[in-house]
Structure 1
């Protein structure tokens, strides 16, 4: 007969062995690793007026090529005229690359975002291109240029479709610091009719994705409006930026 203390010892060894095996199965290489959505945005530094330019984004998530991004859209504008930007849908080549073609019809320096949404994340690397002699930069400086941000910080309001009277509209804002989604910020929208600046509405925005903040509002009066986006965090950051839009009947 096997002594009782040997039986107890045998079962203790078995239990510890099972625990050790279970722990090894849970700690796979790379387990718990935070993956990031990265976009390699390829754009020539210069082009000629009338030349067709290819915009190319290569999208990865960790070591994985993202072949099914929710959205890759290129937004471009002549420097100083961000309010007059143009959005270009991309072609998905199903190998992690997304492209679009654009032709610039006048000299100037153009800014371009590669808006990319995938894996519930959004990123928007920005590059610039000089077209022709680059001297035709507009003198109509937009309100964006009067909002100076901390280095590397970006506030971007997604393009609004037609804003109609008495219909709820979602204001979607993306925040980035050094091309990384800026999370856990306190974001508020201050909105007013430009003909009645003393009457202002405040809307609290919620973070719906990493670095993406959404707030909704319904307008009861048509006209020209301004939205000032206020951003704060726990590290004494306080940024704001104005955008203008129209509410139609």
Structure 2
């Protein structure tokens, strides 16, 4: 009788242990699978759609199609369209987009004068921010004075009287190498100190995302930062300079990155 009881309890313990082990394995497997799925990271992608041309006073639609991995993003934290006439970015207009509930965000606007207008789609979602850029030629486009002003800006002539920036051109940059970005600022012949300087870097062949890097004033009027370029190609670097007195200047350069 004693042996029978021992066998009974032994069998009961074996069955209970087997049942608990099976339950534990199933739960851990599901949790592990869910964790891998949630932890998988993707790049926030934005397809920015605007017409290439428009008539004066014609209403146009700006549209941003937002995706994260294979999924449409219908709950972006913020989508704002910003536009300005080329060469006059300080006087830009911001329009909050309408969420259409299917991953697309839209807004409408019209332009009262001929010109070339540039625009960003500022999109924040999934803890990421990206801002693809487009342009629209309205009516006859830029006149001769506007074109000359735009050329001056592209050639590095700042708009603020007495202000100048001298970017150290990068002769060669390689993928994943630490590349120094350096600009010297000057106001009325003297080093311009205490400015807030940021480098905006992008390459549309690689990604729609723009990287922003804060520069440090490493010497009087000299602002530097270090950047690792992820892939080969031609990158745009736009230098943004601001200060507490309302100064806001920018200048754009190109850098070719090799293997």
Q: TM-score normalized by structure 2?
A: 0.55
What CA deviation, in whole Å up to 9, does each residue of 1:140-178 have, x standing for no partner?
Answer: 13776358xxxxxxxxxxxxxxxxxxxxxxxxxxxxxxx
* CA shift for structure 1 position 22: 2.2
Whether the 8 Å contact between 1:75 and 1:85 is mirrored in structure 2 is no
The question of 1:243 aligning with 2:212 is answered no
What CA deviation, in whole Å up to 9, does each residue of 1:61-113 have, x standing for no partner?
Answer: 4524334x33322222334x154451222243452443333222333433211
Partners of 2:104 and 2:215 lie apart in 1 by 32
Max Rg structure: 2
In the TM superposition, 1:90-239 aligns within 5 A as 90-93=96-99, 95=101, 96-136=103-143, 138-141=147-150, 145-146=154-155, 192=185, 194-195=187-188, 197-198=190-191, 200-201=193-194, 211=211, 230-233=225-228
The 3-state SS of whatever aligns with 2:109 is strand
Unaligned residue ranges in structure 1 (runs of 5+): 148-184, 218-225
Partner of 1:32: 39
Give the structure with the larger helix fraction.
2
- When residues 236 and 48 of structure 1 are mapped into structure 2, their CA distance, relative to the original with a 3 A threshold, is closer
Equivalent pairs counted in the alignment come to 198
Whether the 8 Å contact between 2:46 and 2:65 is mirrored in structure 1 is yes
* CA shift for structure 1 position 47: 0.8
Partner of 1:176: none
Partners of 1:236 and 1:97 lie apart in 2 by 29
